[in-house]
Structure 1
Amino acid sequence: MQKGKIGVTTENIFPIIKKFLYSDHEIFLRELISNAVDATTKLKALSSMGEFGGELGDLTIRVELDEKGKKLTVSDRGVGMTEEEVNKYINQIAFSGAEEFMKKYENQSGIIGHFGLGFYSAFMVASKVEVITKSYREGSQAVKWACDGTPDFTLEPTDKAERGTDIVLYLAEDSAEFGEKTRIEALLKKYCSFLPVPIAFGKEQKWEDGKYVATDKDNIINDTHPLWMRKPTEITEDQYAEFYRKLYPMADEPLFHIHLNVDYPFNLTGILYFPKIKN
C-alpha cells in the first residue's frame, strides 16, 4: 500500500474547497457525471481510431444511492486510470497557497473553469471519497484511492474486474440532503438530461398490487439524441411543441421556433423558441 500527501502547499485547502469552490454545492454531481462522460467519450474515440481493440460493451454511466448508509456512487466504463495516472491527475493540486487562492478568487463564480477541479467538488459534500479504477490498457492493475478530506491519502492495488472508474462519496452530516433519492434524481434531470451517454439511476418502477415495484429495466434519466440533433425535415410541429412542453410544462405555447444548424464561424445546433410576452 502506498501512503502519501496530496501535492498542496497548505493544510487548509480542503476547507477552502468545501466552502468556496462553487457557490452551489449541488454542482458536485454535474462535475462527477461530466468526468464520467468524458472518460466514456475518450474510450469511444480510442476505439474508433483503432487504439482500443476490446469490446466497448455497455457504456451506461450508473448512479447508485445507499440512502441508509448515506453513500453515493458514480460508475463509468470509460478509459479508467492506472496508478501512475491517479498520482498525476488526482494527487497533484497545484495551488500556490490558500491566501493567494482566496485573493485571486474573491468572486466565487470566477473560480469555475479556472482549474480542473471537477473531481474535488466531491469534497464539498463528502467526508470521505474513494476512487476505484482500472485502466482500459491490457494487463492493468486496478487501484483504490481514498481520502478523508485532509491532504493524506492512501493508494493501493484492489480487485476490479471491469475497466472504468467508481467514485464513492460518503456524505457528510451537513450534506444529508444529497442522501435522498428524490434530491439526486432532480439534480440528474436538472444537469444531465441531454448528455450523450446513457445515465442510469436505479430501476424503472411499475404499479403492481397497489404499490410501485422495481422492474429489471434501467431508469435512464437522459435523452442521448435530443430533438435539436435531428434533421428539421424529420420533425413534426407536434414534436417541437411536445419538446417545449416537456422543458417548460407551466408555460404557454411559444409564438414560433427556429431550428438552428450553424457551421461557421463555429458549430452550433439547437432550437430557439420565442415565448409569448404578456405585458
Structure 2
Amino acid sequence: MGAIEVAGLTKSYGETKAVDAVGFEVAEGEFFGILGPNGAGKTTTLEMIEGLRRPDAGEVRVLGEQPWPRNPALLPRMGVQLQASSFFERLTAREQLATFGALYGVRPAKVDEWIERVGLVDKASTRVEALSGGQMQRLSIACALVHEPDIVFLDEPTAALDPQARRNLWDLLDGLNDSGRTVVLTTHYMDEAEALCDRVAIMDQGRILQLDSPAALVRGLDAATRITVLPESMPREDAERLDGVESVEQTTDGLVLATRAPAAVLTELAARGALDGVRVHAGTLEDVFLATTGREYRA
C-alpha cells in the first residue's frame, strides 16, 4: 500500500475542469513533486488529497485512510504548508509555533528546536506581522513540521526565500525524507525538483502529462547538448561545418553549438585549440517542463 493513492480525481468550477481524472501513487518514504504552470491544477489536487477540498469524483487514500470528509485520525499524521498562510495576530514567531504545537501536545523544547532548524532564532520574539515574507514562509513550514508528521505536504515552500535560505531549506527537507517521512511538494523551481524529488508529475490543464524520475524524464527528452564557445575561438562559418553540429546560434556569451554528439564536437574543438572558456549545457528538467507544457507565459 502506498502512502498516497489517487484514482480518477476530478474537480470543476463551473465550466472549468481544474483537475481532470488525475491518478497516481506515492510510495511511503518517497519525495514526490508536482510541477506545472500557473493554473495547472497543482494546488487543487494537493488540497483534495489533504482533505481541505471535496472532490467531484475519484478516490483518494492517504496512509490508508480517506481524507474527506475531514478525518480526525489522519490530522496528527499529516503536516500541511499552504501556498498562503494566515497566522494569529499579535503573537510572536515562537508563540505562533507553540500554539500550533500545543494542538498536538508538542513539548516546548521541540518548539525551540524547530525555531532553530528554520533559522528564526533571532526573530523568535518578533510579532508575526513584523516578519518579512521569507521569514513568514519559514515559520509556516515550521508550523507544518513541528509535530513531526508521517507525511508532509508543501505548496511552493521556498517561494519568497533568498538563494541561501532556499538551499538551507533543501537540506532540511532532504533530512526529513531521509528519516523516512513521505514528502509531497509543488514548486516552480525546476532545480529544486531535480535536486530533491525521487519522482515528479508534470501537470497542465488539470491532467498529468508526464510522471517519472527527473533523470528518466531528461533522458526521454532526447534534447540536444548546447556547447558555448567564446566568440574569438572560431568564426561562425567554421563552427557550422563541424561534424555533429546541428545548429549554431550567436549570443552575447558566444557561439552556442547544438549537438547530439558532444564528445565528437568537443574533440574537434580541442584539435582547433578552442576549448578555453567552453561551457557544456546538457538537457535539464526545465527543458522537459517547457517541451511538455509549452513556452507561453501564464499569468
Q: Same fold (TM over 0.5)?
A: no
- Could you state the TM-score of these two structures normalised by the residue count of structure 2? 0.23
Which protein has the larger Cα radius of gyration, Structure 1 or Structure 2?
Answer: 2
- Could you state the TM-score of these two structures normalised by the residue count of structure 1? 0.24
